[in-house]
Chain A
């Protein structure tokens, strides 16, 4: 297969775009497309400070690399989750995130959850009895809370995550299976800022996961290849595998699924749009972040519970 731009041997083939590119032209194409998405969805401008949530994985490091190449003011945030799983998972992912930052002279904020809240994620999960024996629910809750807190405290205009199209399609698939209208109405490339919530953006939301892997490989980005020890058997991986089987026989199926959803959502075709974003939200009396519960937010209730159990 030949590169569409120069006719040399292609390294990446994107069947959904009917586009094959050599390594050199692929590395030009990805930032060009990212810039296009940033502008199309009005994510941020070059005057704004961006905080990139960096996990040490391929997507978040690729995102940081692309934003840096495009000249955006992007700093990184790494959350130390305290997950070992016999492979030193958190330790290794932090090392790789720090190495990436150091090699490029970029600023990486590091927040250690155990230092902040007394326990690592698996123990927080165990004590709080959330998540049916797996720490993923607590991990997601803590990450969302902390990313927002740090972005707000340090004055970043926007929080960028490395969600790719496969992540988005898997979430969409799950929410569609359950007809979770509230979640469907919230999903998109940009979650606007509101009282207490930083703007969240997903500049890679139109790239396949495969394309981000290709980008990381082509750029020589060293990322954590091992899966999170708790991700084995996860629903999101299962949905991604199903969607990839579909994609193999129907190139472009994942892209169409996601883009048609965004279009329908924008037109208001999905459901009768209600003001869900702001419905019943008020500031948590403890941390000040928005919550739909009457008292403390989920995060603060979880920490309260952990502290109460730990004090016994």
Chain B
């Protein structure tokens, strides 16, 4: 099963066995601009993605300013 990465309304698929950092580069997401979570827990860039993983990418940039 592929690994699914979800950022806002977009879904991407990568092969399992890949490191998260490489997966982000592959789908063209700047690692500094997101936080990755799996089952609600934050994971780091060196995490190896496994079969069937669903990774939610939380965008960190906001434009609204006080």
Contacts and interface: CB of A to CB of B under 8 A. Distances in A.
B33, B42, B64, most chain A CB atoms within 10 A = B64
A60 interface: yes
A217 B63 contact: no
Interface residues of A, number: 42
A227 interface: yes
B66 A248 contact: no
B60 A55 contact: no
B63 A236 contact: yes
A234 B45 CA distance: 28
Nearest to B37: A217
Given A10-B44, A213-B58, A217-B42, A236 B32 contact: no
B2 to A, nearest CB: 25
A23 B42 contact: yes
Given A209-B60, A236-B65, 8 more contacts: A57-B64, A210-B32, A212-B60, A213-B58, A225-B58, A231-B63, A237-B61, A248-B30
B63 A241 contact: no
Contact of B58 (A59, A60, A217): A217
Nearest to A139: B64
Interface string B5-33: 00000000000000000000000001111
Interface in A231-282: 231-232, 234, 236-237, 240-241, 244-245, 247-248
A230 B65 CA distance: 12
Contacts of A23: 42
Interface stretch (A33-41, A65-73, A162-170, A301-309): A162-170
Contacts of B44: 1, 10-13, 20
Contacts of B42: 11-12, 23, 214, 217-218
Contacts of B64: 55, 57, 227-228, 231
A217 B45 CA distance: 17
Nearest to B43: A11
Closest 5 CB pairs of A and B: A231-B63, A244-B32, A161-B66, A213-B60, A237-B63
Interface string B42-56: 111110000000000
Given A213-B58, A217-B58, A244-B32, A140 B65 contact: yes
A206 interface: no
Contacts of B31: 248
A151 interface: no
B39 interface: no
15 contacts: A57-B64, A166-B61, A210-B32, A213-B58, A214-B35, A217-B37, A217-B58, A218-B42, A227-B62, A227-B64, A228-B63, A231-B63, A232-B63, A240-B63, A244-B32
A162 B66 CA distance: 7
A53 interface: yes
Interface in A191-221: 209-210, 212-214, 217-218
B63 A227 contact: yes
Contacts of A247: 32
A241 B66 contact: no
Contacts of A184: none
Contact of A147 (B46, B58, B66): B66
Given A1-B46, A217-B37, A210 B60 contact: yes
